[in-house]
Amino acid sequence: MKLTVVIRFVRAHSLAQWLDDRSLLGPVLNAYCGGFVQIADSLCEGDELLKKRFVGFAILQGERRAAGRLTERFGIRAAAFVEAPPGWSVDNFRNECAACVREAEEAEERELRAVNSRRIAEDDDDTCCLQLPPELAASVMLVDSDETLLMAADAFRALSAEAACASKANSVENALSDGRALGLDVEWRPTLEKRGGMQKHRRSGQPASMEPCSTLQVAARGFVVIFDLLALAPEASGSASRFSDLCGALFREPRILKLGFGLRQDLQRLAASYPHLECFRQVCGVLDVQEAWIHANGAKGGSATGLSALCARHLGAALSKRLQTSDWGVRPLTEEQIVYASLDAYCLIGLAHILPEASRPICTLEVRTSASGQLLAHASVPDGGGPVEGTDADLLTVESRISAKGAEIRAMKQAGAAKSAVQAEVALLLQLKGRFKELAGVDWVPPVANGA
């Protein structure tokens, strides 16, 4: 007889409470572990105690990963632990469920990263892609200690001296020709997700924690430095203040041109990853290569606005993105990762060299805390020129418009406004939130204080 038929019979006659766990739950657990995940819903839907009984049975059978998945699938939260299944105390059951969820998440994370690593290894032909000059590839400086920080300071000393001799008036052309341009890029451990399984059910009320930035790449015309942020930047690191002093002096020097690709978003993530470091609060002399090329190409740019596509179009070969999802949190970094990260920063100098005309002014990026408590990078023209037109000019007002629109919608609901009218205002609110993400590079988060 089919298991689904038996389950329908048990539910129709309320027999679950009369059957022992091994007879009732054993076949269902076997089917669930075999990939028939809906079978658990068919048996337990609407019966909260039976759900907990099923999770407890899975734990006792040693199927802890299945127990973790079921805990998430059934939406069993700490607040719901007012009673435990037979044979369990409330505290013990709560602790075991929490442990099983952690173990299941860790197991799925390992599986996802193993699959991703195999995919990267199988697709290893980058011979037709853009390559880092051999002399640079052989001399990339990986900075992860006080000793190597001193070596990086020596590398930047000549660049700082060149900047000190430069005229106060800066320009993209002068900085590039004098070698006073730095390509900046950031890598972090990617968040890998799959469709189905625990990943599908984990997100309710549990925002994924942000992976901190792992590396900061700084590329000049004649050298590349990769800062290992996981070693240098944590607050407990003895190198954090010295690293911040070195990078802060470099970032605040307006006569050294800093080139980025979506640098606003990278700076926001750096500041959020290491809020105790002042060096990630302000970068002067910035040209965002992505924004500049979009502006230069206008409507003709089409879809060729990604870094790899721009390299293919303007530098003669596409940029390999094969290692983009590699595990940047593992140490030591592989040689492939080091070269990949270096090239992501170094290619920005080539793309900036062939920009037709400076399509955007050089700007200053400054990270501030927004009304919703987020760290956002605001762009402004140096020497009191105000916000950059088209970006911060909108960003400075869009947050207040979102809050106002949210208050308006709540007032309409309280007043009993027509559903169609409320839906129309909600559509406008979603447009505003979309505009915020377009400008800031992050989703809008409501302030904690008022829940707007």
The label of the residue with tokens 């502006």 reads 295
Calpha distance 79→94 (Å, rounded): 10
Calpha distance 284→379 (Å, rounded): 10
Predicted TM-score of the model (pTM) = 0.75
User: Residue 207 has what pLDDT?
Assistant: 44
The label of the residue with tokens 């991703």 reads 116
Which class is 128-194+210-358 in CATH? alpha beta
Calpha distance 262→442 (Å, rounded): 12
Condensed to tens digits (0 to 9), the pLDDT of residues 373-415 reads 788 888 888 765 555 555 555 666 777 778 788 888 888 888 8
In the CATH hierarchy, which fold is given to the domain comprising 393-440? Helix Hairpins (1.10.287)
Burial of 214 (C-beta count, 10 Å sphere; 0-12/13-18/19+): buried
Condensed to tens digits (0 to 9), the pLDDT of residues 227-286 reads 999 999 999 999 999 999 999 999 999 999 999 999 999 999 999 999 999 999 999 999
CA angle, 419 as apex, 416 and 424 as ends, to 5°? 120
User: Residue 296 has what pLDDT?
Assistant: 82
pLDDT at position 177 over 80: yes
Burial of 33 (C-beta count, 10 Å sphere; 0-12/13-18/19+): middle
Q: Which helix (H) or strand (E) holds 242?
A: helix 240-252
Q: Are 306 and 293 in contact (CB under 8 A)?
A: no
| Better-scored residue on pLDDT, 316 or 163 | 316
Pairing of strands 181-188, 213-219: antiparallel
